[in-house]
Structure 1
Amino acid sequence: MHTGQPQTVEHVVEAFVRHLRHERGRSENTVRAYRRDVESLLGSLGADSETTTQDAMGALDLAALRGWLAGASAAGAAPTTLSRHAAAARTFCAWARREELLSVDPSARLRAPKREKHLPPVLRPSQMTRLLTQDAEAGQETPVELRDHAAMELLYATGIRIGELVGLDMDDVDQGARTLRVLGKGNKQRVVPFGGPAAQALEGWLRRGRPALLTERSGPALLLGARGGRWDQRQARATVDAALGALGDTSASGPHALRHTAATHLLDGGADLRSVQELLGHSSLATTQLYTHVSVERLREGYRRAHPRA
Structure 2
Amino acid sequence: MRYVVCDRVGLSRLPEGPIASYIVLFAHSLESQGYSVQSLRHQLRIVAGFSRWLAQTGVELHRVCSEHASQYLRYRARRVQACRGDSAALQHLLDFLRDSGVVPAQRPATRRSTAAELYAQAYRQYLREVRGLAESTIAYYSTFATDFLQDRFGDGRANLSRLRASDVIGIVQRKAQRLNFRRAKLLTTALRSFLRYARYRGDMVRDLADVVPVVANWSMPSIPRAIAPDQIRQLLSSIDRRTGMGLRDYAILLLLARLGLRSGEVVSLELADIDWSSARLTVRGKCGQRSELPLHADVGKAIAAYLRHGRPHSACRRVFLRSKAPITGFRGACGVCSVVRHALLRAGIDAPTTGAHQFRHGLAADMLRHGASLNEIGES
Cα distance in 2 between the residues matched to 1:189 and 1:114: 35
Secondary structure in 2 aligned to 1:45?
A: helix
Question: Deviation per CA, 1:160-215, whole angstroms, max 9, x where unpaired?
Answer: 111121122233322333332223334443332231110101112233333x2413
How far does residue 10 in structure 1 lie from its aligned partner after superposition? Answer: 1.6
TM-score between the two structures when normalised by the length of structure 1: 0.73
Q: Write the deviation string for residues 4-37 of structure 1: whole angstroms up to 9, x where unpaired.
A: xx98222111121232334333334433322232
Q: What is the alpha-carbon root mean square deviation over aligned residues?
A: 2.8
| C-alpha displacement of 1:91 | 1.0
1:123-172 C-alpha deviation (Å, 9 max, x unpaired): 4434322322322xx3x244332221211111111111111211222333
Matches within 5 A, 1:1-310: 8-48=115-155, 51-53=156-158, 56-73=159-176, 75-116=177-218, 117-118=220-221, 119-135=223-239, 138=240, 140-210=241-311, 212-215=312-315, 218=316, 220-226=317-323, 227-232=326-331, 233-252=333-352, 253-279=354-380
- Contact 1:57–1:101 (CA<8 Å) still a contact in 2? yes
CA distance in 2 between counterparts of 1:69 and 1:57 reads 16
Confirm or deny: 8 A CA contact 2:144 2:191 kept in the other structure.
yes
**Structure 1 residues 271, 109: CA separation in 2 closer, same or farther (over 3 Å shift)?**
closer
Change in 2 beyond 3 A, CA 1:180/1:275: farther
Does the Cα contact within 8 Å between 1:157 and 1:194 map onto a contact in 2? no
Q: Answer yes or no: is the 8 Å Cα contact 2:115–2:157 preserved in 1.
A: yes
Question: 1:88 Cα shift?
Answer: 1.2
Question: How has the CA–CA distance of structure 1 residues 39 and 127 changed in structure 2, closer, same or farther, with 3 Å as cutoff?
Answer: same
**Closer/same/farther in 2, CA of residues 196 and 270 from structure 1, 3 Å limit:** farther
Q: What SS does the aligned partner of 1:181 have? A: strand
% identical equivalent positions:
24
User: Unpaired runs of 5+ in structure 1?
Assistant: 1-5, 280-310
* Bigger shift: residues 64-73 or 18-27: 18-27
Tell me: higher relative CO, structure 1 or 2? Use CA pairs within 8 A at least 6 residues apart: 1
Question: Which residue identity lines up with residue 341 of structure 2 in the other structure?
Answer: D
Structure (1 or 2) with the larger CA radius of gyration: 2
Gaps of 5+ in 2: 1-112
Q: What's the TM-score once normalised by structure 2's chain length?
A: 0.61
- Taking structure 1 as reference, are residues 15 and 108 closer, same or farther at Cα in structure 2, changes over 3 Å only? same
Query: Residues 256 and 360 of structure 2 are in contact (CA less than 8 Å); yes or no, is this contact kept in structure 1?
Result: yes
**How many pairs were matched up?**
262
CA contact (8 A) 1:237 1:255 kept: yes
State how far apart, in whole Å, the 1-side matches of 2:195 and 2:224 are. Answer: 32
The one-letter code matched in structure 2 to 1:229 is T
